[in-house]
């Protein structure tokens, strides 16, 4: 039963908008935020392929992606919060 059927004040009949899950859920890539996963993979590929340091490249990717997944499980928007903390450091300092 919708709010319109119940006669809730402030709702006009015929003006319902569907809210899709894809608009409300964060975009994750392998459990990590998309931008962090792409940046981490690019950096690990540069170390592993460009510098030909395979073990450090794979280790960097594994540790970085694991930390990003851990952060996304706690708060899917942790990168936006971290960026805001860096930008407004004096205001958000504890």
Convert the pLDDT of each residue in 36-70 to its tens digit: 999 999 999 999 999 999 999 999 999 999 999 99
* Residue 5, pLDDT above cutoff 60: no
Say if CB 57 and CB 49 are below 8 A apart.
Answer: yes
Closest CA relative to residue 32, chosen from 81, 87, 79, 84: 79
Rounded Cα–Cα distance for residues 33 and 26 (Å): 8
* Averaged pLDDT of the chain: 88
- Helix %, strand %, coil % of the chain (to 5): 60, 5, 35
Rounded Cα–Cα distance for residues 68 and 82 (Å): 12
Tally of CB atoms within 10 A around 72: 21
Q: Where are the beta strands (DSSP E) in the chain?
A: 28-29, 32-33
Q: Using CA atoms of 93, 85, 67, 23 in order, give the dihedral in degrees to the nearest 10.
A: 140
């Amino acid at each position: 039963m919708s709010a319109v059927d119940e006669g809730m004040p402030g709702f006009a009949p015929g003006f319902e908008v569907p809210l899709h899950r894809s608009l409300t859920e964060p975009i994750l890539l392998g459990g990590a935020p998309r931008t962090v996963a792409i940046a981490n993979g690019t950096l690990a590929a540069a170390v592993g392929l460009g510098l030909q340091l395979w073990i450090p490249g794979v280790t960097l990717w594994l540790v970085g992606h694991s930390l990003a997944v851990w952060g996304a499980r706690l708060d899917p928007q942790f990168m936006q919060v971290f960026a805001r903390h860096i930008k407004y450091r004096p205001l958000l300092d504890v």
